Amino acid sequence: MGLKRLIVRRGQPFMLQLHFNRPFHWGTDRITFIAETGPAPTELSGTRATFSLTQTRQGNVWSASDFTIDSNLLCVSLFTPSNAVIGSYTLKIETSQGQGYSSTHSLGTFFLLFNPWNAEDDVYLPSEILLQEYVMMDYGFVYKGQEKFITSWPWNYGQFEEDIIDICFEILNKSLYFLKNPSKDCSQRSDVVYICRVVSAMINSNDDNGVLQGNWGEDYSLGVSPLEWNGSVAILRQWSARGGKPVKYGQCWVFAGVMCTVMRCLGVPTRIVSNFRSAHNVDGNLTLDTYYDRNAEMLATPERDKIWNFHVWNECWMIRKDLPPGYNGWQVLDPTPQETSNGLFCCGPASVRAIKEGDVHLPYDTPFVYAEVNADEVIWLFGDGQAREILAHNTRSIGNNISTKMVGSNQHQNITSSYKYPEGSPEERSVFMKASKKMLGSRRASSPLLDLLRSRDSQDQPAQLQLRLARTPEWGQDLLLKLHARRVPNRAHPRGPIRLQVRFCAQALLHKGGAREPLWRQIVHLNLDFGEEIQWPLLLPYINYRNKLTDERLIRVSGIAEVEGTGRSILVLKDISLEPPHLSIEVSERAEVGKALRVHVTFTNTRTVALSHCTMVLEGSGLIHGQLSNDLGTLVAGHTTQIQLVLYPFKAGHRQLQVLISSNEVKEIKGYKDIFVAAARAS
């Protein structure tokens, strides 16, 4: 089988050359091939196949056919069925002549993977452009930030790095399913739905020695901050090298990035999806509550429900033979440990079509994913130990700008319409009611909260308030906003002037939902005549938020206006994502395999403060073996640093170089450079 390992996709014939110590005679010399995988292979379980040499292929079964004989040399085509168990196989032949003595010889091993190019495979994807994007592309992007300011985060999948395929099957062999019943587990590896659920559970370590340990706190001293990973390869290699000990630490985009690597390596078309303002609805009531006090401070909530600023999961492409017709295609898989599914922390596959149509009764975990993109948010004014007033009932705030990488581009694509009909449309309301009935049953008809929401006229306010940014928000700079206030008629105050007292509060948002202690407050008094619009400037100084943000640099500015003489309150919110400093990457010449490639990285600290303990990490499949690290020390305010490196690309084709600069003050200063590497010229 040559010096390199043989890796083939099921349903794909491959050629084998056998050299004998004498001429081979068709008709008298008998050959039987034996292919085996797993610890106790049997034909009944599909982990063992025996097949003889035939002149033509015999359908979708293991076969050896279309052979040619040249004296001592036999060239034969081996075919694996499109529904075969995936795994590492040993291949042997048993030879005999007539009824005489037989002997068995080992030919070697090969890996068998899913085959999305084969129309008979359950992962068949009938588009070469999509196959190149979702199977062959070994780099991509995660989309982070917030719905109105989406940032691209380059990620190195590296599924074709030399040892990654071994690690992927090591993951399967360390799952609880395998440890409980190895033979049964291996026999089910022909089923992509089963493989997806096993991998989803194994990427996190909540139930087992999975790949990643999650950490949603702010102390990463015992491991690596989730923001400091450039890709999956270093994580998978560390997990394997340490005997399957979970790697510290991951959050949603890291879990999803690693799962994307594993699934693409196994041959399943896979992509990463980001859902902005993603609901974690534990009790399945499709409602999440948020609380503010009269000073506009967001309060901690005792419920386990939360709204992530964004949440990242995977979609895998497959036929769902376990579902009624119409639910094939993209399926949600989420390896981030949020809730258990059949006793393990995994999620999916949930049909994206089922989510859009509200068919939440279909497996797997469809109700949970439906709530992630469709739940309502109810915002309460809290005081004197109880919720006193509904400030807002948002039916459109959850599940916005659902995004994935655009095919053939570095831009993001909004795929929200794949998950739900347009917000507020008759189709969306109909689907929501259908899903609600299935998820809530009799609870929905008798819900006092829903009765209250139905009876409340949220539009009956005497003024409209909106917060807007007056300039681009950059980390290290003062933030300038404007409050736009406009007097509108309502039943209580049809046309007269009103007086408002607006209390503002700014807090650092936590990725997992909720906020830190207030970092800025201000009170504004406004008099509004009928038809009048006022713009009031607000300044949030850098000194107020310095050292008070999380690594994601998200701030929520909240305002609650009390309408004098009415007892009514008006809520206004603005989420701000601060831009980090930028770096540039330049390549000075044509890239070619084996030839020196000079790379120039330039970074200017444009902020008013120094960045201390700066480190730079470079990564890129086909460009760098593993990672390159560089200690940059302290970068003073206004200082520019230039780093020159020489790389020796070792794989041709489209490549991506990823650069991460981290400091104590800012964790994620990232950049990337797309590089086309030409094949080595013939000497």
Domain residue limits, the chain: 6-113, 128-438, 461-577, 583-677
Residue 66 CA neighbour count, 13 Å, CB half = 10
- Does residue 62 surpass a pLDDT of 90? yes
d(CA 476, CA 368): 39
- Does residue 189 surpass a pLDDT of 60? yes
Residue 491 is predicted with a pLDDT of 66
- Judge whether 492 and 540 are in contact, CB under 8 Å: no
Lowest average pLDDT, out of 19-23, 170-174, 202-206, 256-260, goes to: 19-23
Residue 634 is predicted with a pLDDT of 95
Residue 3 is predicted with a pLDDT of 47
Q: What average pLDDT does range 496-513 have in this prediction?
A: 93
Question: What's phi and psi for 550, nearest 5 deg?
Answer: -80, 175
- Does residue 659 surpass a pLDDT of 70? yes
Catalytic residue among 186, 196, 252, 346: 252
In CATH, what number does 128-438 get? 3.90.260.10
Chain-centre distance for alpha carbon 54: 46
Residue 265 is predicted with a pLDDT of 98
What average pLDDT does the structure give for the chain?
93
Lowest average pLDDT, out of 24-28, 281-285, 354-358, 442-446, goes to: 442-446
Which of 254, 250, 147, 256 lies closest to 509, judged by CA? 147
- Does residue 459 surpass a pLDDT of 70? no
Q: What average pLDDT does range 625-648 have in this prediction?
A: 93
Our answer to whether residue 347 is catalytic in this structure is no
**Residue scoring higher pLDDT (522 or 494):** 522
Our answer to whether residue 625 is catalytic in this structure is no
Residue 2 is predicted with a pLDDT of 35
Domain 461-577 coded CATH 2.60.40.10? yes
219 is in an annotated binding site: no
Taking the chain, what is the end-to-end CA distance rounded to the nearest angstrom?
A: 28
Share of residues in the chain with pLDDT > 90 (%): 82
**Residue scoring higher pLDDT (513 or 495):** 513
- Does residue 456 surpass a pLDDT of 70? no
In terms of phi and psi (left: phi > 0; alpha: psi -120 to 50; beta: otherwise), the region of 653 is: left
Which of 379, 386, 414, 382 lies closest to 399, judged by CA? 414
Sequence length of the chain is 683
Superfamily of domain 6-113: Immunoglobulins (2.60.40.10)
Helical H segments across 62-191, by residue range: 128-131, 164-173, 176-180, 182-187
pLDDT confidence bin for 221, thresholds 50/70/90? very high
Chain-centre distance for alpha carbon 657: 20
Helix, strand or coil for residue 674?
Answer: strand
303 is in an annotated binding site: no
Our answer to whether residue 25 is catalytic in this structure is no
Q: What average pLDDT does range 576-603 have in this prediction?
A: 93
Domain 583-677 coded CATH 2.60.40.10? yes
Catalytic residue among 334, 359, 365, 575: 334
pLDDT confidence bin for 445, thresholds 50/70/90? very low
128-438 and 461-577: identical CATH topology:
no
Residue 172 is predicted with a pLDDT of 98
Share of residues in the chain with pLDDT > 70 (%): 96
Q: What average pLDDT does range 336-347 have in this prediction?
A: 96
Q: What is the pLDDT of residues 381-399, one digit of tens each?
A: 999 888 889 999 999 999 9
d(CA 506, CA 517): 9
Q: What is the pLDDT of residues 139-148, one digit of tens each?
A: 999 999 889 8
Q: What average pLDDT does range 593-609 have in this prediction?
A: 92
668 is in an annotated binding site: no
- Does residue 565 surpass a pLDDT of 90? no
- Does residue 457 surpass a pLDDT of 50? no
d(CA 585, CA 490): 56
376 is in an annotated binding site: yes
Residue 446 is predicted with a pLDDT of 44
